[in-house]
Amino acid sequence: MTKGNEATDPRPEPDLDRWNCQWINGEKVTDARDSITVYNPATGEAVGRVPRGDGETAARAVDAASHALTGWGRLTAVQRTAYLNQWADRIERERNELARLMSREQGKPIEEAAGELDGSAQFIRWYAEEGKRVYGETIPGSRPDQRIMVWRQPVGVVGMITPWNFPAAMIIRKAAPALAAGCTIVVKPASQTPLIAVALFQLLMDTGIPKGVANLVTGSAATISDVFLSDARVRKISFTGSTEVGKSIMERAAIQLKRLSLELGGIAPVIVYPDADLELAAKSIVGNKFENCGQVCNGINVIYAHEAIRQELSERIVELTRALRVGPGDEPDVDIGPLIDREAMLRVDRLVADSQAKGAAIRTGGYRLMDEKYAHGHFYAPTVLTDVNDEMDVMKEEIFGPVAPIASFADEDEVIARSNATPYGLAAYVFTRDVSRVYRMCEQLEFGMVAVNGTSLSVPQAPFGGIKESGSGREGGHHGLDDYMDLKYINLNLEGKGG
Ligand code: NAP
């Protein structure tokens, strides 16, 4: 029977069970007692479901990863590279379908989702190559018969926990270096975006990667992470998410002194001086701030405009922000999708109300979008606030939403002190043409990453990560591979003639 709207509705009914599985020991596992339904944050429609895995499922996955470890570690780097490159090939081939899936479960515009997948494939390829360069060292001995070597060996089984904001990239930035290093992995994706994780694993399994090397468990964060934390065979946990959960993992990981990588939250400042290219600064700031509806760990939290250009920079930012189109991610020409859930939307609304009550001016936006196509989603109008001061919550909390607060400053020491006055230290941005100032700022800003005259940081060859309460460990670059390797020092004493 034909439904009345079938001919005009461009979106086919989703097959809710298309990605309804976990991956353990190379097999699809579907035998959970319960399932998690995933909803489109733009429409409220169900888009799929996955099994609600638990501690027992996670233990099976750790068994599989543990059994696969020796075999995977013994392959040559070139053999491991072949699987990784095939994975990247498949992601690139399926890019458009994967992008639609990601957009439906996470909300971001399809073009942005496709960009995330392209970046993810590049990441895999970079680590496939870097895995071939796991060199050791030879160190001169203290005696003629002594030989000293340093080897780099895979850490072992790694448990990985990832967030929903970049649901493909956050998995791949961990999985690619770990697999290249010779580790085996168990991944637990965010419960709001598990479908793309299952799809990526399907493509990885299609490469014929040996059973048990890569496992995926969807479901309860508490019980799955308990297994990661309590099973001594899991030698490392790599976590990306909130600082609050990261701290609790760190505390509990201390019991077995597990290695940790923690990629956590941040409060990123951007500092704009009067000598900067203001057109470039405004464009870069708006591009960074509203990417993924502001739900980016290194996304700009506060804009410090020098008082001499505050007015002009604000006007430019407001104008560019007003031009942004908000809507469901799968509609053409949409720049910004919805927030991930109602709680996130209400938090943004609270932050804006707090700023307004404390004297900020709302220059554009400042309200929830609720009419017509927005009625069933978590949409918030892109917002610019001016006259922002340090007492406002937007200056002290991670906003994680489409709100750009503009504060002003007069002096270099002052803006450095205000930028550093946060427990976080992930990313900072500076716009100026004064090279001496560039050095001073880069030296004194207490952040793991600083971008100058630009706002994009994430590339495969560079170490992405934070300091202070933004975490430890790096994703990207040879540093990202080191995070999955242990050093082993060999002291060899030779027999015979002076060794
Ligand atoms: P979250 O609540 O900490 O969740 C992240 C992951 O941790 C999810 O898989 C979640 O599972 C799991 N989880 C939740 N509670 C847990 C617990 N008690 N023990 C173990 N795992 C637990 O963070 P989020 O809200 O999804 O992500 C946003 C945060 O991530 C922001 O603060 C952002 O800045 C940060 N982030 C940082 C980076 C970086 O590279 N520094 C990158 C992206 C995001 P469930 O989904 O099943 O609850």
Query: Domain boundaries in the chain?
Result: 11-264+473-486, 268-459
Q: How many angstroms is it from 404 CA to the middle of ligand 1?
A: 23
Question: d(Cα 31, Cα 213) in Å, to the nearest integer?
Answer: 21
Whole-number pLDDT of residue 14 = 76
For atom 13 of ligand 1, which residue has the closest CA? 221
The finding on whether 240 has its CB within 6 A of some atom of ligand 1 is: yes
Q: How many angstroms is it from 245 CA to the middle of ligand 1?
A: 7
* Residue 492, strand partner residues: 147
Q: How many angstroms is it from 445 CA to the middle of ligand 1?
A: 26
Q: How many angstroms is it from 214 CA to the middle of ligand 1?
A: 21
The finding on whether 163 has its CB within 6 A of some atom of ligand 1 is: yes
Measured from the Cα of 173, ligand 1's closest atom is 40
What is the CATH class of 11-264+473-486? alpha beta
> Which one from 263, 398, 469, 475 is the annotated catalytic residue?
263
Is 319 part of the annotated catalytic residue set?
Answer: no
The finding on whether 264 has its CB within 6 A of some atom of ligand 1 is: yes
Question: d(Cα 67, Cα 57) in Å, to the nearest integer?
Answer: 16
Whole-number pLDDT of residue 2 = 32
List pLDDT tens digits, range 178-215: 999 999 999 999 999 999 999 999 999 999 999 999 99
Measured from the Cα of 426, ligand 1's closest atom is 41
Residue 66, pLDDT > 90, answer yes
The finding on whether 447 has its CB within 6 A of some atom of ligand 1 is: no
Measured from the Cα of 263, ligand 1's closest atom is 41
Q: How many angstroms is it from 351 CA to the middle of ligand 1?
A: 21
List pLDDT tens digits, range 401-417: 999 999 999 999 999 99
For atom 10 of ligand 1, which residue has the closest CA? 190
Whole-number pLDDT of residue 5 = 36
Is 297 part of the annotated catalytic residue set?
Answer: yes
> Which one from 105, 183, 297, 475 is the annotated catalytic residue?
297
**Matching CATH number, 268-459, of 3.40.309.10, 3.40.30.10, 3.40.190.10, 3.30.830.10:** 3.40.309.10
Question: d(Cα 382, Cα 367) in Å, to the nearest integer?
Answer: 9
List pLDDT tens digits, range 435-459: 999 999 999 999 999 999 999 999 9
Whole-number pLDDT of residue 7 = 42
Q: Of residues 9 and 360, which shows the higher confidence score? A: 360
The finding on whether 75 has its CB within 6 A of some atom of ligand 1 is: no
Q: Name 127's Cβ contacts closer than 8 Å, sequence gap at least 6.
A: 84, 176, 177, 179, 180, 460, 480, 481
CA 389 to chain centre: 29
| Coil, strand or helix at 436 | helix
Identify the CA nearest to 313 among candidates 287, 282, 288: 282
Give the mean pLDDT of 225-241. Answer: 98
Whole-number pLDDT of residue 1 = 30
Assessment of whether the complete model's pTM goes beyond 0.85 = yes
CA 128 to chain centre: 20
Residue 178 · residue 261 · CB < 8 Å: no
Residue 394, pLDDT > 50, answer yes
Whole-number pLDDT of residue 33 = 85
List pLDDT tens digits, range 1-42: 333 334 445 566 779 999 999 999 999 999 878 999 999 999
The finding on whether 344 has its CB within 6 A of some atom of ligand 1 is: no
CB atoms within 10 A of CB 161: 23
Q: What percent of the chain has pLDDT over 70?
A: 97
Residue 406 · residue 385 · CB < 8 Å: yes
Torsion angle (degrees, nearest 10) of CA 456, 118, 237, 47: 110
- Ligand 1 pocket mutation pick from 239, 242, 252 by most atoms within 8 angstroms of CB: 242
Question: d(Cα 321, Cα 289) in Å, to the nearest integer?
Answer: 10
Domains 11-264+473-486 and 268-459 share a fold: no
Measured from the Cα of 245, ligand 1's closest atom is 3
The finding on whether 426 has its CB within 6 A of some atom of ligand 1 is: yes
| Coil, strand or helix at 206 | helix
Give the mean pLDDT of 47-55. Answer: 96
Question: d(Cα 310, Cα 300) in Å, to the nearest integer?
Answer: 17
Question: d(Cα 344, Cα 340) in Å, to the nearest integer?
Answer: 7
**Average pLDDT score, the chain:** 96
Give the mean pLDDT of 334-339. Answer: 98
Q: How many angstroms is it from 242 CA to the middle of ligand 1?
A: 5
Whole-number pLDDT of residue 171 = 98
Whole-number pLDDT of residue 208 = 98
For atom 28 of ligand 1, which residue has the closest CA? 241
The finding on whether 401 has its CB within 6 A of some atom of ligand 1 is: no
Q: How many angstroms is it from 413 CA to the middle of ligand 1?
A: 34
Residue 372, pLDDT > 90, answer no
Question: d(Cα 195, Cα 333) in Å, to the nearest integer?
Answer: 24
Question: d(Cα 105, Cα 192) in Å, to the nearest integer?
Answer: 7
Question: d(Cα 283, Cα 321) in Å, to the nearest integer?
Answer: 10
- Ligand 1 pocket mutation pick from 22, 187, 240, 296 by most atoms within 8 angstroms of CB: 240
